């Protein structure tokens, strides 16, 4: 699933390629992606308008329309936005294609049709209505510490719960815990202040470096777990064979030596 670094990369694509272009129309192949609006309402809000700004919160991407409201996008399990030129064919699985008056297009690709397309008066209202926690990127230590007060249960699902902090999924949850040297099954209530500090620092460092690598697994720093989290993979720090375990039906990869139970 696209996580914070992926969606931040998408945001930068939209910032560069989708702003200040008049919208001529759109094709919506999968109306079931609409969340809380119908197609007519979307058309009324988009056509003859322009996107003027972008914003991201957790795994959600927002673009502000020139008349006020924001388009809110979630990319489901495998979605992404992709601009394409006047002479190019739409990419496969383009479920929603915006046509600009200058002849270019913006595709919302979603092979599994699990994304969401909605409208909101502003991202703050949206975040409040969805009950999302603060964005995981740029979160300071006192805020992170306050969020963890009284928290119970395994650390990995806690990190992935979008109501606690927004943006971390299965892949970056594993990466953060690997960088912090914390086993994914450790209990929140058993973590020391120092261990929580390590998780906080690893969250900021990991997300920042992943965004710097454009969320491309092939460009991740050499000490990252991401390129190694597969059968036969070894720890990039100590070369121990990696282990995996199922936590809430998701596979968690970890180093049994660097992340003791």
d(CA 259, CA 156): 13
> What's the min distance (Å) between Cβ of 206 and Zn ion?
16
> What's the min distance (Å) between Cβ of 254 and Zn ion?
9
Which residue matches tokens 């994304």? 115
Residue 202, helix vs strand vs coil: helix
Under DSSP, the state recorded for 136 is S
Under DSSP, the state recorded for 103 is S
For residue 257, state whether it binds Zn ion (rule: CB under 5 A): yes
d(CA 19, CA 117): 18
Piece in contact with Zn ion (CB under 5 A), picked from 100-108, 147-155, 189-197, 249-257: 249-257
126-159 burial code (b ≥16 CB/10 A, e <16):
bbeebebbbbbbebeeeebeebbeeeeebbbbbb
For residue 258, state whether it binds Zn ion (rule: CB under 5 A): yes
- Of 46, 39, 41, the residue nearest 106 (C-alpha): 46
Q: Binder to Zn ion among 238, 248, 251, 260 (CB under 5 A)?
A: 238
For residue 237, state whether it binds Zn ion (rule: CB under 5 A): yes
Piece in contact with Zn ion (CB under 5 A), picked from 138-146, 175-183, 188-196, 228-236: 228-236
For residue 180, state whether it binds Zn ion (rule: CB under 5 A): no
Spatial contact of 96 and 44, defined as CB atoms under 8 Å apart: no
Nearer to Zn ion, 119 or 235 (CB): 235
> What's the min distance (Å) between Cβ of 172 and Zn ion?
18
Piece in contact with Zn ion (CB under 5 A), picked from 52-60, 135-143, 215-223, 230-238: 230-238
Piece in contact with Zn ion (CB under 5 A), picked from 3-11, 77-85, 133-141, 238-246: 238-246
Cα Rg of the chain (Å, integer): 20
Q: Binder to Zn ion among 235, 242, 247, 254 (CB under 5 A)?
A: 235
């Amino acid at each position: 699933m696209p996580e914070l670094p992926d969606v931040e990369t998408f945001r930068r694509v939209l910032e560069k390629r989708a702003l200040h272009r008049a919208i001529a129309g759109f094709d919506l192949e999968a109306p079931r992606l609409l969340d809380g609006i119908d197609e007519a309402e979307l058309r009324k809000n988009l056509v003859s308008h322009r996107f003027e700004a972008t914003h991201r919160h957790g795994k959600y991407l927002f673009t502000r329309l020139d008349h006020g409201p924001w388009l809110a996008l979630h990319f489901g399990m495998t979605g992404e936005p992709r601009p394409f030129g006047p002479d190019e064919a739409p990419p496969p699985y383009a479920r929603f294609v915006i046509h600009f008056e200058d002849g270019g297009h913006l595709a919302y690709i979603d092979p599994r049709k699990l994304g969401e397309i909605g409208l909101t008066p502003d991202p703050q209202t949206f975040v409040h209505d969805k009950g999302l926690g603060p964005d995981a990127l740029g979160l300071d230590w006192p805020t992170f510490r306050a969020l963890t007060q009284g928290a119970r249960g395994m650390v990995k699902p806690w990190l992935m719960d979008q109501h606690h902090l927004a943006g971390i999924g299965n892949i970056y949850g594993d990466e953060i815990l690997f960088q912090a040297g914390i086993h994914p099954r450790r209990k929140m209530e058993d973590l020391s202040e120092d261990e929580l500090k390590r998780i906080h620092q690893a969250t900021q460092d990991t997300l920042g470096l992943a965004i710097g690598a454009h969320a491309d697994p092939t460009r991740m720093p050499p000490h990252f777990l991401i390129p190694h989290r597969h059968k036969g993979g070894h720890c990039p720090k100590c070369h121990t064979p990696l282990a995996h375990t199922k936590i809430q039906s998701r596979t968690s990869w970890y180093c049994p030596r660097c992340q003791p139970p």
